[in-house]
Amino acid sequence: MGESAPGDLGAPTFHDLFREYFAQMTRLAHLLGADDAENVAQEAFVKLHQRWDTLTDHTRVAGYLRTTVVNMSRSRTRHLRVVRRTPQERPADELSAEVRAVANWEHEQLRGVLGKLSRRQREVLVLRYWLDLSTAGIAETLGISPGTVKATTHHAMENLRKHLGDEPGGER
Amino acid sequence: MTDLERKLAETLREQAGAVTPNLAAAWAEQQRRQRRPPRRRLTVVIAPLAAVLVVLTSVLLATQLNRPSAPPANPGGPLVLARPVHRPMSELRMASTPVSLTNFAGQTDAWTSYAFTATVTGSLQFCVAAVPRGAQLSSDAPQYGMNSPVCVALGGGPVRAGYVGEGAGPLPSGKAVYLATPQVDTLRMFNADGDLSLATMPFGALGADRVFVTDVSPGSPPVRFEVNPVPANPASR
């Protein structure tokens, strides 16, 4: 189990990919609001493993993982909303008291405002400003058009500015 | 990048940095989950599939009963070969210089598949084995998977023996190797649907016989073959 694609010598093994992407996918799920980020990443890799033998292009594995994590995080946050434990209702982050004490005030404000954005706006901002994905990469990951990515990014940034302006001590 | 965008990127990095999974423990957990039987998923998938199959079969049967069926396209001749059997390397007496077929990657090592002829319990057979890349094909070399080496008794036709790659076998899934008589210059294989593998030229030789390696559809092995096909003459159209 966990072998490279047959005949594809030089391709990373499943274990290589796990080492390379597991932490990143866990963080992505966390940033998208999943309360069980590590479980989401684990299940994304299980799904990848189930499709491992049929994958022909290992360079697309990262994209496949990202899309899976985004979709699973959506399901998770939807479920949390149903059981009245929306991510917005819990603290905006899981930082320890010590870290929280020294956390930058602006960052804390931003985290709070990020939690108030719509799901798609939050996804677009995370993929663009944390993963540094291009418009095309974000479009492929979310299954939407590049034009929608640009418009969503614009509206998300507008909302950020608006919310930060509303916060005491915020921008403007 | 605006000031807000810069702050946003910093915030996201800081928030992401709070998550530090233990990779070793996570890998152990991942392996555990991979072994988990997908029972619920299978049930969810199989039930509707079975219903669709029943409907499709009924429709197909009704259609077949109302219409004379066209003769199926059966290109070439039927491929009838002996079944591959796993034999420990220590039982094999190599009778030819092995031909390296392909390299492939396992979980931690790279492997090389070899074809060779060997004497097994007194008779000459066609064998395939996979050992770590660079290792000698000997009885003490580690073997890939549970089926390596496999041996096939030689037949009397133009295609004397063959082995179709499989997950736990010495040749990766999606590839097949055949041993043919010296008269075979080109070999074409067809699966049960009549789909054609590419015409294959000899890959190597074991004694006088020729070795052919071809790509096949996983799960749909060749069942018919054609040797030295005559190319279509454009002038005859």
Mean pLDDT of chain A: 80
Query: How far apart, in whole angstroms, are the C-alpha atoms of residue A92 and residue A106?
Result: 13
Which of B23, B38, B66 lies at the terminal end of a domain, its last residue?
B66
The verdict on ipTM greater than 0.85 is no
Same domain, B168 and B195: yes
Query: How far apart, in whole angstroms, are the C-alpha atoms of residue B208 and residue B223?
Result: 25
**B237 is a domain residue:** no
Q: pLDDT at position A51, please? A: 85
Same domain, B54 and B105: no
Same domain, B180 and B89: yes
Q: What share of chain A has pLDDT > 70, as a percent?
A: 77
Least confident of A114-128, B172-186, B190-204, B215-229: B190-204
Q: Which band of pLDDT confidence, cut at 50, 70 and 90, is reported for residue A4?
A: low
Q: Which of B19, B38, B172 shows the shortest C-beta gap to A7?
A: B172
Interface of B with A (CB under 8 A): 4-5, 7-21, 23, 26-27, 29-31, 33-34, 36, 38, 102-108, 110, 165, 167, 172-175, 218
pTM > 0.80: yes or no:
no
Q: pLDDT at position B73, please? A: 61
Q: pLDDT at position A172, please? A: 41
Phi-psi region of A38 (alpha: psi -120 to 50; beta: other; left: phi over 0): alpha
pLDDT at B237 over 50: no
Is A122 touching B (CB cutoff 8 A)?
no
Same domain, B122 and B180: yes
Least confident of A108-112, A149-153, B172-176: A108-112
Number of cross-chain residue pairs from A and B with Cβ atoms under 8 Å apart = 132
Query: How far apart, in whole angstroms, are the C-alpha atoms of residue A53 and residue A46?
Result: 13
pLDDT at B74 over 50: yes
The upper half-sphere exposure of residue A29, i.e. CA atoms within 13 Å in the direction of its Cβ, equals 28
Residues 12-71 on A with a CB inside 8 Å of B are 13-15, 18-19, 22-23, 26-28, 30-31, 37-38, 41-43, 45-46, 49-50, 53
**B71 is a domain residue:** no
Contact assessment for residue B79 and residue B227, using Cβ atoms and an 8 Å cutoff: no
Q: What share of chain A has pLDDT > 90, as a percent?
A: 45
pLDDT, tens only, A144-153: 999 999 999 9
Q: Name every residue whose Cβ is closer than 8 Å to that of residue B183 and which is 6 or more positions away in sequence.
A: B158, B227, B228
pLDDT, tens only, B12-26: 998 899 889 999 999
As for how many domains chain B has, the answer is 2
Q: Name every residue whose Cβ is closer than 8 Å to that of residue A133 and which is 6 or more positions away in sequence.
A: A127, A141
Same domain, B121 and B43: no
pLDDT at A105 over 60: yes
C-beta atoms of A110 and B11 within 8 A:
yes
Cα–Cα nearest to A125, from A155, A98, A97: A155
Residue B166 sits in which domain range? Answer: 77-227
Query: How far apart, in whole angstroms, are the C-alpha atoms of residue B178 and residue B26?
Result: 43
B17 CB neighbours in chain A (<8 A) are: 27
Give the best-scoring range by mean pLDDT among A95-104, B14-23, B75-84, B198-207.
B14-23
Q: Which band of pLDDT confidence, cut at 50, 70 and 90, is reported for residue A89?
A: very low
pLDDT at B71 over 50: no
Same domain, B171 and B87: yes
**B235 is a domain residue:** no
The predicted model gives B179-203 an average pLDDT of 83
SS3 B150: strand
Q: pLDDT at position A95, please? A: 52
B167 CB neighbours in chain A (<8 A) are: 53
Same domain, B31 and B82: no
Instruction: State the nearest Cα–Cα gap between B171 and chain A, in angstroms.
Output: 9
Cα–Cα nearest to B87, from B128, B115, B122: B128
